[in-house]
Amino acid sequence: GENVEQHPSTLSVQEGDSAVIKCTYSDSASNYFPWYKQELGKGPQLIIDIRSNVGEKKDQRIAVTLNKTAKHFSLHITETQPEDSAVYFCAAPSGNTPLVFGKGTRLSVIA
């Protein structure tokens, strides 16, 4: 089955700086890679996703890049703001399992 590795586990950045979170996956057949943001007391919320037919996708300050050859994908947040502070999860599908999740990255944006 799929194995998703995520790093770093914690990340602190100054407000306005960029944050990058990286994930690797093991199943070369995987072709869908979402990112979720989980704020305290809430469920994970989908913030961006990418399919294997593209290498990059942007949505305002958030972008995701995918390297299928190396089997890794990354989340980029530019011009970080305090409200970006949360736990971020990457994920990938695995066989009949809808999504396998990475262990999460706790992002702290320091004002």
Partner 1 sequence: SAVISQKPSRDICQRGTSLTIQCQVDSQVTMMFWYRQQPGQSLTLIATANQGSEATYESGFVIDKFPISRPNLTFSTLTVSNMSPEDSSIYLCSVGGGEPNSPLHFGNGTRLTVT
Interacting residues with partner 1 (CB under 8 A): 31-32, 34, 36, 41-46, 49, 51, 89, 93, 96-104
Task: Read off the amino acid at residue 88.
Answer: Y
9-38 residues labelled b (16+ CB within 10 A) or e (exposed): eebebeeeeebebbbbbebeebeebbbbbe
Q: How far is the CB of 6 from partner 1 (least distance, A)?
A: 8
Considering the complex, state which of residue 77 and residue 100 has its C-beta at the smaller distance from partner 1: 100
User: Cβ of residue 80: shortest distance to partner 1, in angstroms?
Assistant: 22
- Residue number with CB closer to partner 1 (63 or 91): 91
Whichever of 30 and 65 has its CB closer to partner 1, that residue is: 30
Where would I find the beta strands (DSSP E) of 1-111? 4-7, 10-14, 19-25, 32-38, 45-51, 56-59, 62-67, 72-77, 86-94, 97-101, 105-110
Q: What single-letter DSSP state applies at residue 55?
A: S
Write down the least CB distance from residue 99 to partner 1, Å: 6
Q: Which is nearer to partner 1, 65 or 105 (CB)?
A: 105
CB of 79 to partner 1, least distance (A): 25
